Amino acid sequence: MSILLWSLGITSIFSFYILYSPNPFRNINIPSKHPSTNDHQHQSLFLNPKSPLRVITPKQDLHGYKECDLFTGRWVHDPKGPLYTNWSCPTIPDSKNCRKHGREDVGYVHWRWKPDKCELPRFLPKTFFRIVQGKTMVFIGDSVARNHMESLLCLLSQEETPIDKYTDKEDRERTWFFPSYNFTLKVLWSKFLVNGDERVINGSSSGVFDLYLDKVEEKWAEKLNGLDYIIFSAGHWFYRPLNLYEEGKLIGCVYCDNPNVTHKDPDFALQRVFNASLKYINRCENCNSKLLTIVRTFTPAHFENGQWDTGGNCNRTSPYNNETPEREINLDNSEWKFRSAQLEAVERAKNEGEKRGKRFGSLDVTKAMFMRPDGHPDTHWDNRWMKGYSDCVHWCMPGPIDVWSDLLLAAMIKAGDF
Q: Which residue numbers are catalytic? A: 143, 391, 394
Q: Which domains does the chain have, with CATH numbers?
A: 76-415 (3.40.50.1110)
Q: How many CA atoms does the CB half-sphere of 267 hold within 13 Å?
A: 17
CB 402 within 8 A of CB 368: no
Q: Would you state the pLDDT for residue 56? A: 40
Q: Would you state the pLDDT for residue 263? A: 96
Q: Would you state the pLDDT for residue 64? A: 60
As a whole number of angstroms, the distance between CA 17 and CA 384 comes to: 10
Q: Would you state the pLDDT for residue 47? A: 26
Sheet containing strand 173-178, edge to edge, reads 163-167, 173-178, 183-189, 136-141, 229-232, 292-296, 359-363
Rama region for 416: left / alpha / beta (φ>0; ψ in -120 to 50; rest):
left
Find, among 118, 108, 115, the residue nearest to 47 by Cα: 108
Give the angle 339-344-347 at the CA atoms, nearest 5°. Answer: 130
Look up the pTM and report it: 0.85
pLDDT in tens, 262-307: 999 999 999 999 999 999 999 999 999 899 999 999 999 999 988 8
Q: Would you state the pLDDT for residue 222? A: 95
SS3 35: coil
Query: What b/e readout covers 247-283, taking b as 16+ CB neighbours within 10 angstroms?
Result: eeeeebbbbbeeeeeeebbbbbbbbbbbbbbbbbbbe
Q: Would you state the pLDDT for residue 324? A: 53
Which residues of the chain are under the pLDDT cut of 70?
1-66, 322-332, 383-387
Find, among 269, 278, 276, the residue nearest to 351 by Cα: 278
Q: Would you state the pLDDT for residue 382? A: 79
Strands 292-296 and 229-232: parallel
Residue 95 DSSP label: G
